[in-house]
């Protein structure tokens, strides 16, 4: 019996990566009865006499499970964020970060199109945006030019041995980054975002590229940030700077909105947390409170 990671799922076959080899397998017959459906990214036990025929025997427990792309056990998400064209939005970035925190996925914020910034704009980004997210504890890559060999080397070192996805809004530069990390992809500009339009291509093949011992999803969509599947009390847990401050709030379960003795609001007044982050929190709180409950939600 061997242990490996499902690299690709296609038409009932599961290609498992183990010892730098790919084994084509099928799931055991009793998986369907047990309602077990293997996913790309699953750690599995399998048996195989050769690389063309084998069976998945066991799927190990998942630490997380994404919907689009359908991948399990994601360790890192590279959040490609344009500084211009499309215009930088702290709100959208914070949406993505909250979704990643909720799934226990480590984010790397990767600012693209940095060559479009003036010297004054570079200084502003460094002083107010980059430093702000770094102070929270996030890994941030802000470099001119955005995609060069030194940045690639640094990024790949952090991805080694991990399962990663790439996410970001349309036009942010996801395909450019993936082409830099894995030139054999040869993705055309806009190809990725077209393939990931909401409600389309939901059955598109998903696979993990094995790039220098880094497993990277070749489809960089991540749309879980469209919804907030948490309570209003839980929301602040996904803002690390608020979570660490909340132990000093006067009231347990403080929502950091109108309560007296709130450590988060005190830190905001003292300039110790980003105003844009707090504004995102307020907006997301309203969305959570006002969104309609979902029944029989499928994962």
Summarize the annotated binding site for GTP as residue ranges: 112-115, 168-176
Contacts of 96 (CB under 8 A, 6+ apart): 77, 79, 107, 167, 168, 222, 225
Provide the token pair at 48. Answer: 């195989």
Is the preceding peptide bond at 70 cis, omega within 30 degrees of 0?
no
Q: Which residues contact 203 (CB under 8 A, 6 or more apart)?
A: none
Q: What residue numbers does the annotated binding site for Zn(2+) cover? A: 249, 254, 256, 262
**Binding site: which residues?**
112-115, 168-176, 249, 254, 256, 262
| CA dihedral (264, 265, 270, 271) positive or negative | positive
> DSSP string spanning 178-236?
HHHH-GGG-PPTTHHHHHT-TTS-TT--EEEEEETTEEEESS----GGGS--S-HHHHG
Q: What is the dihedral of CA 237, 240, 245, 250, to 10 degrees?
A: -10
Cα–Cα distances (Å) from 153 to 141, 147, 183, in that order, read: 12, 10, 14
Cα(76)–Cα(82) distance, integer angstroms:
19
CA separation for the pair 260, 199 (Å, rounded): 44
**Which has the closest alpha carbon to 54: 87, 26, 91?**
26
């Amino acid at each position: 019996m061997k242990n490996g990671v499902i690299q690709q799922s296609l038409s009932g076959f599961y290609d498992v990566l183990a010892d730098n080899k790919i084994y084509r397998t099928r799931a055991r017959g009793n998986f369907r009865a047990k309602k077990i459906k293997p996913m790309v990214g699953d750690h599995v036990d399998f048996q195989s006499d050769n690389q063309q025929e084998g069976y998945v025997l066991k799927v190990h427990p998942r630490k997380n499970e994404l919907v689009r792309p359908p991948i399990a056990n994601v360790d890192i998400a590279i959040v490609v964020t344009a500084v211009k064209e499309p215009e930088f939005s702290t709100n959208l970035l914070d949406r993505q970060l909250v979704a990643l925190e909720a799934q226990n996925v480590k984010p790397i914020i990767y600012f693209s199109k940095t060559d479009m910034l003036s010297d004054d704009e570079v200084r502003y980004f460094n002083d107010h945006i980059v430093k702000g997210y770094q102070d929270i504890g996030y890994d941030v890559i802000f470099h001119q030019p955005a995609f060069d060999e030194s940045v690639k080397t640094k990024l790949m070192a952090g991805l080694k041995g991990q399962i990663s996805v790439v996410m970001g809004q349309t036009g942010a530069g996801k395909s450019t980054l993936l082409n830099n990390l894995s030139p054999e992809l040869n993705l055309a500009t806009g190809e990725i975002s077209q393939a990931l339009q909401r409600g389309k291509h939901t059955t598109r093949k998903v696979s993990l590229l094995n790039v220098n011992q880094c497993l990277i999803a070749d489809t960089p969509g991540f749309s879980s940030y469209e919804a907030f599947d948490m309570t209003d009390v839980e929301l602040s847990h996904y803002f690390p700077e608020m979570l660490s401050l909340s132990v000093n709030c006067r009231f347990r379960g403080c929502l950091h909105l109108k309560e007296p003795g709130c450590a988060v609001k005190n830190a905001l007044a003292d300039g110790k947390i980003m105003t844009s982050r707090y504004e995102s929190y307020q907006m997301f709180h309203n969305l959570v409170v006002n969104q309609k409950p979902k029944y029989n939600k499928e994962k």
